[in-house]
Amino acid sequence: MVPIGSGVGAALRFLAAVLDARAVVEIGTGTGVSGLWLLRGMRPDGVLTTVDVETEHQRLAKQTFTEAGVPAQRARTIPGSALDVLPRLTDGHYDLVFCDGDKREYADYLKEAMRLLRPGGVVAFDNALWHDRVADPAQRDEETVAIRELGRTMQEAEGLLPVLLPVGDGLLAAKKEWIPE
Protein backbone atom coordinates (compact mmCIF):
# COMPACT_ATOMS: atom_id res chain seq x y z
CA MET A 1 0.00 0.00 0.00
CA VAL A 2 1.60 3.22 -1.22
CA PRO A 3 -0.23 6.50 -0.53
CA ILE A 4 -0.97 8.77 -3.48
CA GLY A 5 1.50 11.56 -4.13
CA SER A 6 0.80 15.27 -4.00
CA GLY A 7 0.21 15.48 -7.78
CA VAL A 8 -2.62 12.94 -7.71
CA GLY A 9 -3.88 14.43 -4.46
CA ALA A 10 -4.04 17.92 -5.93
CA ALA A 11 -5.87 16.55 -8.99
CA LEU A 12 -8.42 14.79 -6.75
CA ARG A 13 -8.93 17.92 -4.64
CA PHE A 14 -9.42 19.92 -7.85
CA LEU A 15 -11.95 17.43 -9.26
CA ALA A 16 -13.93 17.41 -5.99
CA ALA A 17 -13.93 21.22 -5.91
CA VAL A 18 -14.93 21.66 -9.57
CA LEU A 19 -17.76 19.18 -9.09
CA ASP A 20 -18.82 20.98 -5.87
CA ALA A 21 -18.86 17.42 -4.56
CA ARG A 22 -21.31 16.59 -1.80
CA ALA A 23 -20.99 12.78 -1.99
CA VAL A 24 -17.81 10.90 -2.91
CA VAL A 25 -16.97 7.19 -2.89
CA GLU A 26 -13.39 6.03 -2.42
CA ILE A 27 -12.35 2.44 -3.07
CA GLY A 28 -9.17 1.73 -1.13
CA THR A 29 -9.01 3.77 2.07
CA GLY A 30 -5.31 3.25 2.72
CA THR A 31 -4.11 5.47 5.55
CA GLY A 32 -6.50 8.28 4.61
CA VAL A 33 -4.15 10.35 2.43
CA SER A 34 -6.36 10.32 -0.68
CA GLY A 35 -9.48 10.72 1.46
CA LEU A 36 -8.04 13.85 3.03
CA TRP A 37 -7.28 15.34 -0.40
CA LEU A 38 -10.84 14.55 -1.52
CA LEU A 39 -12.38 16.01 1.65
CA ARG A 40 -10.39 19.22 1.22
CA GLY A 41 -11.93 19.71 -2.23
CA MET A 42 -15.48 18.77 -1.27
CA ARG A 43 -18.21 21.07 0.00
CA PRO A 44 -18.02 21.72 3.76
CA ASP A 45 -21.12 19.55 4.22
CA GLY A 46 -19.84 16.82 1.89
CA VAL A 47 -19.51 13.19 2.97
CA LEU A 48 -16.77 10.80 1.88
CA THR A 49 -17.72 7.11 1.84
CA THR A 50 -14.53 5.07 1.89
CA VAL A 51 -14.39 1.30 1.44
CA ASP A 52 -11.48 -0.99 2.31
CA VAL A 53 -11.15 -4.68 2.99
CA GLU A 54 -8.54 -3.96 5.70
CA THR A 55 -10.07 -2.63 8.94
CA GLU A 56 -6.61 -1.54 10.09
CA HIS A 57 -6.39 0.80 7.09
CA GLN A 58 -9.68 2.35 8.08
CA ARG A 59 -8.55 2.79 11.68
CA LEU A 60 -5.46 4.63 10.47
CA ALA A 61 -7.55 6.74 8.07
CA LYS A 62 -9.94 7.76 10.86
CA GLN A 63 -6.90 8.82 12.90
CA THR A 64 -5.59 10.82 9.92
CA PHE A 65 -8.96 12.56 9.48
CA THR A 66 -9.24 13.34 13.20
CA GLU A 67 -5.71 14.77 13.33
CA ALA A 68 -6.54 16.95 10.30
CA GLY A 69 -9.64 18.31 12.07
CA VAL A 70 -12.20 16.59 9.84
CA PRO A 71 -15.53 16.19 11.69
CA ALA A 72 -16.39 12.50 12.16
CA GLN A 73 -19.71 12.82 10.29
CA ARG A 74 -17.88 13.82 7.07
CA ALA A 75 -16.15 10.44 6.60
CA ARG A 76 -18.05 7.17 6.52
CA THR A 77 -15.82 4.10 6.56
CA ILE A 78 -17.25 0.79 5.39
CA PRO A 79 -15.18 -2.36 5.87
CA GLY A 80 -15.40 -5.06 3.22
CA SER A 81 -14.69 -5.94 -0.36
CA ALA A 82 -15.61 -3.10 -2.72
CA LEU A 83 -17.59 -5.45 -4.96
CA ASP A 84 -19.68 -6.52 -1.95
CA VAL A 85 -20.19 -2.98 -0.61
CA LEU A 86 -20.74 -0.90 -3.78
CA PRO A 87 -23.99 -2.64 -4.84
CA ARG A 88 -25.52 -1.49 -1.53
CA LEU A 89 -24.87 2.20 -2.26
CA THR A 90 -27.51 4.48 -3.83
CA ASP A 91 -27.75 4.75 -7.63
CA GLY A 92 -27.04 8.18 -9.14
CA HIS A 93 -26.20 9.71 -5.76
CA TYR A 94 -22.47 10.39 -6.07
CA ASP A 95 -20.46 13.19 -7.65
CA LEU A 96 -17.11 11.41 -7.74
CA VAL A 97 -15.89 7.82 -7.43
CA PHE A 98 -12.15 7.35 -6.84
CA CYS A 99 -10.76 3.84 -7.38
CA ASP A 100 -7.46 2.75 -5.85
CA GLY A 101 -8.21 -0.85 -4.95
CA ASP A 102 -7.46 -4.20 -6.56
CA LYS A 103 -6.31 -3.40 -10.11
CA ARG A 104 -7.75 -6.68 -11.39
CA GLU A 105 -11.22 -5.42 -10.34
CA TYR A 106 -10.97 -2.02 -12.07
CA ALA A 107 -13.40 -3.02 -14.87
CA ASP A 108 -15.98 -4.05 -12.25
CA TYR A 109 -15.40 -0.80 -10.33
CA LEU A 110 -16.14 1.11 -13.55
CA LYS A 111 -19.49 -0.67 -13.95
CA GLU A 112 -20.43 0.13 -10.36
CA ALA A 113 -19.24 3.73 -10.69
CA MET A 114 -21.44 4.27 -13.76
CA ARG A 115 -24.44 3.22 -11.69
CA LEU A 116 -23.44 5.27 -8.65
CA LEU A 117 -22.57 8.51 -10.46
CA ARG A 118 -25.01 11.27 -11.28
CA PRO A 119 -24.85 12.63 -14.87
CA GLY A 120 -21.84 14.95 -14.94
CA GLY A 121 -20.11 12.98 -12.19
CA VAL A 122 -16.53 11.75 -12.52
CA VAL A 123 -14.86 8.39 -12.02
CA ALA A 124 -11.08 8.34 -11.47
CA PHE A 125 -8.59 5.47 -11.32
CA ASP A 126 -5.16 5.68 -9.72
CA ASN A 127 -2.11 3.88 -11.14
CA ALA A 128 -3.32 4.20 -14.75
CA LEU A 129 0.28 4.03 -16.00
CA TRP A 130 1.15 1.22 -13.57
CA HIS A 131 4.86 1.97 -13.25
CA ASP A 132 5.12 2.60 -17.02
CA ARG A 133 4.04 -0.98 -17.73
CA VAL A 134 0.67 -0.20 -19.38
CA ALA A 135 2.26 1.34 -22.49
CA ASP A 136 4.60 -1.64 -22.97
CA PRO A 137 2.75 -4.40 -24.90
CA ALA A 138 5.33 -6.95 -23.69
CA GLN A 139 4.00 -6.54 -20.13
CA ARG A 140 1.28 -9.19 -19.77
CA ASP A 141 0.81 -9.58 -16.00
CA GLU A 142 -2.79 -9.62 -14.78
CA GLU A 143 -2.81 -6.13 -13.26
CA THR A 144 -1.16 -4.45 -16.24
CA VAL A 145 -3.55 -6.13 -18.69
CA ALA A 146 -6.56 -5.15 -16.55
CA ILE A 147 -5.50 -1.48 -16.45
CA ARG A 148 -4.71 -1.48 -20.20
CA GLU A 149 -8.15 -2.93 -20.97
CA LEU A 150 -9.82 -0.40 -18.67
CA GLY A 151 -8.22 2.41 -20.68
CA ARG A 152 -9.55 0.95 -23.92
CA THR A 153 -13.01 0.42 -22.45
CA MET A 154 -13.20 3.99 -21.20
CA GLN A 155 -11.95 5.36 -24.52
CA GLU A 156 -14.59 3.45 -26.48
CA ALA A 157 -17.53 3.75 -24.06
CA GLU A 158 -20.49 5.83 -25.12
CA GLY A 159 -21.37 8.26 -22.39
CA LEU A 160 -17.86 8.76 -21.02
CA LEU A 161 -15.47 11.64 -21.66
CA PRO A 162 -12.07 10.26 -20.54
CA VAL A 163 -8.70 11.88 -19.86
CA LEU A 164 -5.38 10.41 -18.74
CA LEU A 165 -3.55 12.80 -16.44
CA PRO A 166 0.21 12.19 -16.21
CA VAL A 167 0.42 12.86 -12.47
CA GLY A 168 1.94 10.39 -10.04
CA ASP A 169 1.56 6.90 -11.50
CA GLY A 170 -1.20 8.16 -13.81
CA LEU A 171 -4.77 9.20 -13.06
CA LEU A 172 -7.39 8.02 -15.55
CA ALA A 173 -10.59 10.02 -15.15
CA ALA A 174 -13.84 10.25 -17.07
CA LYS A 175 -16.94 12.40 -16.89
CA LYS A 176 -20.23 10.56 -17.07
CA GLU A 177 -22.10 12.31 -19.84
CA TRP A 178 -25.84 12.74 -19.85
CA ILE A 179 -27.34 10.46 -22.46
CA PRO A 180 -30.97 11.07 -23.47
CA GLU A 181 -33.08 7.93 -23.30
pTM (two decimals): 0.96
CATH number of 6-176: 3.40.50.150
Q: Domain residues of the chain, as ranges? A: 6-176
At 122-150, the pLDDT tens digits run 999 999 999 999 999 999 999 999 999 99
How high is the pLDDT of residue 122? 98
At 19-43, the pLDDT tens digits run 999 999 999 999 999 999 999 999 9
DSSP string, 26-46: EE--TTSHHHHHHHHHS-TT-
Nearest to residue 91, comparing CAs of 53, 119, 68, 128? 119
> Apex CA 143: angle with CA 34 and CA 75, to 5°?
20
Task: Please answer whether residues 99 and 148 qualify as being in contact, where contact means their C-beta atoms are separated by less than 8 angstroms.
Answer: no
Q: How far apart are CA 63 and CA 61, in angstroms?
A: 5
At 87-133, the pLDDT tens digits run 999 999 999 999 999 999 999 999 999 999 999 999 999 999 999 99
How high is the pLDDT of residue 3? 81
178: left (phi over 0), alpha (psi -120 to 50) or beta: beta
Nearest to residue 82, comparing CAs of 56, 59, 49? 49
